[in-house]
Amino acid sequence: MTSFALPPLTVLTHFALSPRSGNLRDEASTPTTPAASTPKFSLAFILDDNKALLSPISACASPQSVTQSPSPKQQRRSPKRKLTAKEKRAARQCCIDGCTNYTIDRGLCFRHGGGKSCSKPGCTASAKHRGLCWKHGGSTLCTVEG
């Protein structure tokens, strides 16, 4: 693959509106490069090509190195310490006093209402399969004959 630079693009400014009158300019015969007086909504301003275009490959291979400064959020953030085994277990326990089961959802274990509820209106049972409780068809049928 060979890379090459394209020449500067010249623009016809007859599509641009004049800065004050709002009428179309009558300069269709001469291609020009955008000037400082060109309105910002004109094609000439948008396609300002005073610089030669570079191919993407040559732009990437430029000797300038791009250094990113860390964002303010990254500068303030201190590294987190690792949790101990006891802290990890305590963080995953049900929030009901005396319950030592692991949480499933919203800080509650399955016994205390953690997890998805049945999708039938008025039913407060927990969902087992396909968003339904056993009473409303949330169980799976056995596929073994016998």
- CB under 8 A, 24+ apart: contacts of 123-127: none
* Within-domain flag for 79: no
Mean pLDDT in the chain? 71
- Per-residue pLDDT at 5: 76
- Per-residue pLDDT at 54: 52
* Within-domain flag for 45: yes
Q: What is the dihedral of CA 72, 73, 74, 79, to 10 degrees?
A: 140
- Per-residue pLDDT at 29: 46
- Per-residue pLDDT at 37: 64
* Within-domain flag for 71: no
**Are the beta carbons of 36 and 30 closer than 8 angstroms?**
no
Cα 8 to Cα 24: distance, rounded to the nearest angstrom: 25
Cα 60 to Cα 49: distance, rounded to the nearest angstrom: 20
- Per-residue pLDDT at 65: 55
Residue 41 belongs to domain spanning: 1-61
- Per-residue pLDDT at 58: 55
List the helix and strand counts (H, then E) for the chain.
4, 0
- Per-residue pLDDT at 27: 46
* Within-domain flag for 22: yes
* Within-domain flag for 29: yes
Among candidate residues 117, 94, 97, 118, the one with its CA nearest the CA of residue 106:
94
* Within-domain flag for 82: no
* Within-domain flag for 137: no
In angstroms, the first-to-last Cα distance of the chain is 68
Residues of the chain where predicted confidence (pLDDT) is lower than 70: 1, 8-38, 49-74, 146
* Within-domain flag for 134: no
Number of structural domains in the chain: 1
Helix (H, G, I), strand (E, B) or coil at 76: helix
- Per-residue pLDDT at 56: 55
Question: H-type helices in 18-71, by residue range?
Answer: 43-46, 56-60
- Per-residue pLDDT at 74: 64
